[in-house]
Structures are given as C-alpha cells and as structure tokens.
Amino acid sequence: MLPVKSNIGALAPGLGFQATTEAGIVASHVVWDSAPVTLTANHALHAAAQDATKSSSIREAEEFLREALAEGPMDVAQVEGRASEASISKATLRRARTRLNVATFKDGYQGTWRMKLPTEEQQQ
C-alpha cells in the first residue's frame, strides 16, 4: 500500500504485505512486512507500465521470428535487418530468440551465421 497524496504533511512510507493462506485454513489473511516501502506510487505505476510494454514488445518480436523463420533457416543479418525495419531492437529480438529457443548455426566453415526455429521434438 502506497500513499498517493497528503494535504497535511509529508508522505508516509508505504506498507508491504502478502495475502497468504495456511494449511487447514479456508480464508486467506494478510501478513504485514516489517520494513517500510520507500517506493512512491508513481514509480510503482511507471515500473508496471514498463513491464507491460516490454512483454508486448517481446510477444511482437516472437511473432516476427515465427513468421520470418516459417519457411526455414535465414541469415542472422537478414533477420536482424528486417527486425530493425519493423522497429524491433536487437535486445528485444535476442530475448524473443531465447524464449522461442531459436537455434543459430554457421552454414559451413566460411558460411554465414543462420537461425532457425526449433523442431517440434526440440520444443517438447
């Protein structure tokens, strides 16, 4: 719980808590944290909004990779170029590659680096 506004003095620190249940008890109860929360409500809301934006960006990058690699392996540079054109950053693309288990491999001794989607067996 974080204070948002105070007309009569400085903002008090926030209060941390967890809603928990115990074995054999039907209803949940609140366990208060002993340390005060120093984060402001604005910072908490901003952080939550950033997390939502990041997750939607990663989902967009995952969809991009699935479509780009649907026909088979592609050069990494080509995929990164198309991702850049689609306003997907390299960091977001890297996180999406990790989440999808996209494999990178070198095409021969002096070949280019390529990437491909995992097979169905590899996904399981």
Q: Does residue 122 surpass a pLDDT of 70? A: no
What ranges in the chain are assigned the alpha helix state H?
Answer: 41-68, 76-85, 90-100, 120-123
- pLDDT at residue 31, rounded to an integer: 84
Integer Cα distance of 14 and 4 in angstroms:
10
Residue ranges covered by each domain of the chain: 1-39, 53-123
Residue 113: predicted pLDDT: 93
Locate 32 and state its tokens: 């208060």
27-43 pLDDT per residue, tens? 787 888 888 888 777 77
The DSSP symbol for 23 reads T
Q: Tell me, rounded to whole angstroms, the distance of Cα 92 from its chain centroid.
A: 9
Could you confirm whether domain 53-123 is CATH 3.40.50.2000?
no
Q: What is the pLDDT of residue 124?
A: 46
pTM: 0.54
- pLDDT tens digit string along 51-100? 666 678 888 999 999 999 999 999 999 999 999 999 999 999 999 999 89
List the one residue out of 64, 117, 118, 115 whose CA is nearest residue 89. Answer: 64
